[in-house]
């Protein structure tokens, strides 16, 4: 079984649903037709297969125009080829931006979910500390200056 994600959302096939982050599963399952199309197009444009196929087509196009002097439908500087690239870019760019915006939104949901999980883990750690050290333990309060210094260092680095 191939466990690597294929699309910008961590996989587009139904067999890969389990790879999505739980916080994004609902969002992935309820995408609109336009969102699915943007994700699919972005998945194709961002692949090595697309780059290789497009490179082969361009080389064949230029080679055919140079070799077939009598049939030169797009002579140097290959205006028709440039027009095709411009058209491709005009359609690809908005779809890629749509997919990137959706990915940023998905990442934001995942970060919020991870933050809530971290808060829950901290609450469990505090409860575990109280259970093991007793309710009158002062070690958390005594370590507060060290923790504040660490937080200040992290804030400066960000």
Choice between 5 and 60, residue whose per-residue pLDDT is larger: 60
Residue-wise pLDDT for 92-103, tens only, equals 888 888 878 888
pLDDT of amino acid 11: 45
Residue-wise pLDDT for 68-115, tens only, equals 767 777 777 788 888 988 998 898 888 888 878 888 888 888 888 888
pLDDT of amino acid 12: 45
Taking the C-alpha atoms of residue 50 and residue 65, their distance in angstroms, rounded to an integer, is: 22
pLDDT of amino acid 121: 92
Computed over every residue of the chain, the mean pLDDT equals 78
Residue-wise pLDDT for 2-36, tens only, equals 344 444 444 444 445 556 666 667 777 778 888 88
pTM equals: 0.51
């Amino acid at each position: 079984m191939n466990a690597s994600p294929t699309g910008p959302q961590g996989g587009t096939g139904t067999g890969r649903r389990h790879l999505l982050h739980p916080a994004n599963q609902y969002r992935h399952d309820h995408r609109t037709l336009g969102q699915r199309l943007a994700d699919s197009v972005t998945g194709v444009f961002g692949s090595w297969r697309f780059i290789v196929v497009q490179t082969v087509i361009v080389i064949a196009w230029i080679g055919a125009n140079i070799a077939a002097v009598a049939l030169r439908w797009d002579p140097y500087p290959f205006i028709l080829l440039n027009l095709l690239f411009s058209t491709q870019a005009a359609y690809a760019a908005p779809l890629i931006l749509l997919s990137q915006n959706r990915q940023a939104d998905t990442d934001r949901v995942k970060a919020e979910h991870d933050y809530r999980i971290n808060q829950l883990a901290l609450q469990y750690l505090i409860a575990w500390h109280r259970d093991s050290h007793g309710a009158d333990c002062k070690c958390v309060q005594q370590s507060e200056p060290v923790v504040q210094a660490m937080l200040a260092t992290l804030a400066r680095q960000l």
